[in-house]
């Protein structure tokens, strides 16, 4: 499946502990159909949050522009060859699949330069939200250094052509998953909180665009498209139960969505085990 107001906050460590990390969170707000947020962001690893005030499901995809290309070029390309994105855009991830009245956050790695931010999720008529106005420019500013990751992961999710590989089980609670694209195509992950007894495959079979209810489950975030070799971090609030992982991106040659090639996975999230007290 392949949204945004800026509120820049700081998570301040309590009690002035010397280990305090000032992790800045940059917020974008999605509406039907507009994206609000900052016009520039420091390069390096950044925590980005998307709050959805709309009634449709939204995302914010970070796309690096090559030199010489502008936002107007992207808009022209979308108008003439909808709905596919121009191949010269480089995918850096972003916040994926946020339902109405929900929010989600990820860490993305930005280099200095110009970006286009957009929502590629289709509306009820199958038209990407970017074509209804959910597209804006952003400049990555600062040093060329890539910087250190800001999050410590609980697990690693490798994206291959065409499968997900998770390094280990996930327990309920606030969790961070490190995503690495080991494939030769761009990939994404959409997280689904599955209904009792349902699977990611059933979610796909019953999926209709436009934020309509799906009896097999509901979107709870994810990471938008990442180019081969790129990485990102996904922050999740997991409940005990079953989740589905899906990649909706299409093969550039055949047009087949990656989930149809095997890029889906069901996982069980276990409750946190509390060790029994000794006698």
- Based on the shown chain and the rule CB under 5 A, indicate whether residue 247 belongs to the binding site for Cu ion: yes
Closest CA to 155 of 276, 238, 59: 238
Residue 60 or 246 with smaller CB distance to Cu ion: 246
- What is the torsion angle, in degrees rounded to the nearest 10, for the CA atoms of residue 229, residue 134, residue 260 and residue 169? 60
CA–CA separation, 269 and 279 (whole Å): 30
Half-sphere exposure of 238 (CA within 13 A, CB side): 26
DSSP code at position 141 = E
- Based on the shown chain and the rule CB under 5 A, indicate whether residue 97 belongs to the binding site for Cu ion: no
- Based on the shown chain and the rule CB under 5 A, indicate whether residue 265 belongs to the binding site for Cu ion: no
Closest CA to 130 of 28, 65, 35, 227: 35
- Based on the shown chain and the rule CB under 5 A, indicate whether residue 187 belongs to the binding site for Cu ion: yes
Q: What are the beta bridge partners of residue 118?
A: 61, 135
Q: What are the beta bridge partners of residue 87?
A: none
Candidates 73-81, 103-111, 185-193, 222-230; binding stretch for Cu ion (CB under 5 A): 185-193
CB of 258 to Cu ion, least distance (A): 3
CB of 244 to Cu ion, least distance (A): 14
Q: Which of residues 8-67 bind Cu ion (CB under 5 A)?
A: none
- Based on the shown chain and the rule CB under 5 A, indicate whether residue 1 belongs to the binding site for Cu ion: no
CB of 232 to Cu ion, least distance (A): 14
CB of 251 to Cu ion, least distance (A): 9
- Based on the shown chain and the rule CB under 5 A, indicate whether residue 263 belongs to the binding site for Cu ion: yes
Binding test (CB under 5 A) with Cu ion, winner from 249, 265, 267, 269: 249
CA–CA separation, 279 and 277 (whole Å): 7
CB of 70 to Cu ion, least distance (A): 28
Candidates 90-98, 111-119, 200-208, 250-258; binding stretch for Cu ion (CB under 5 A): 250-258
Binding-site size for Cu ion (CB under 5 A) equals 5
Q: Which of residues 60-79 bind Cu ion (CB under 5 A)?
A: none
Supply φ then ψ for residue 261, to 5 degrees: -100, 5
The C-alpha angle with vertex 58 and arms to 27 and 129, in degrees rounded to 5, equals 115
Which residues sit at the interface with Cu ion, rule CB under 5 A? 187, 247, 249, 258, 263
């Amino acid at each position: 499946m392949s949204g945004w107001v800026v509120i820049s906050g700081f998570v301040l460590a309590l009690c002035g502990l010397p280990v305090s990390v000032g992790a800045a969170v940059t917020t974008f707000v999605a509406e039907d159909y507009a994206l609000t947020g900052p016009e520039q962001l420091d390069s390096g690893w950044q925590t980005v949050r998307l709050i959805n005030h709309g009634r449709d499901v939204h995302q914010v995809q970070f796309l690096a522009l090559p030199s010489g290309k502008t936002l107007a070029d992207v808009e022209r390309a979308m108008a003439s060859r909808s709905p596919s994105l121009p191949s010269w855009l480089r995918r850096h991830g972003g916040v994926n699949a946020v339902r109405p009245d929900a929010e989600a956050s990820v860490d993305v790695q930005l280099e200095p330069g110009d970006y286009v931010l957009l929502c590629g999720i289709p509306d009820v008529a199958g038209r990407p939200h970017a074509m209804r106005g959910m597209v804006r420019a952003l400049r990555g500013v600062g040093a060329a250094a890539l910087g250190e990751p800001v999050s410590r992961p609980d697990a690693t999710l490798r994206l291959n052509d065409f499968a997900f590989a998770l390094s280990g089980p996930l327990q309920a609670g606030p969790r961070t998953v490190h995503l690495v694209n080991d494939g030769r195509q761009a990939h994404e992950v959409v997280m689904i909180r599955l209904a009792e007894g349902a699977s990611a495959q059933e979610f796909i079979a019953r999926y209709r665009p436009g934020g309509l209810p799906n009896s097999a489950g509901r979107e709870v975030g994810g990471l938008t498209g990442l180019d081969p070799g790129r990485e990102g971090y996904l922050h999740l609030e997991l409940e005990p139960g079953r989740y589905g992982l899906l990649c909706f991106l299409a093969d550039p040659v055949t047009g087949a969505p990656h989930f149809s090639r095997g890029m889906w996975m069901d996982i069980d999230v276990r409750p946190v085990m509390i060790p029994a007290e000794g006698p």
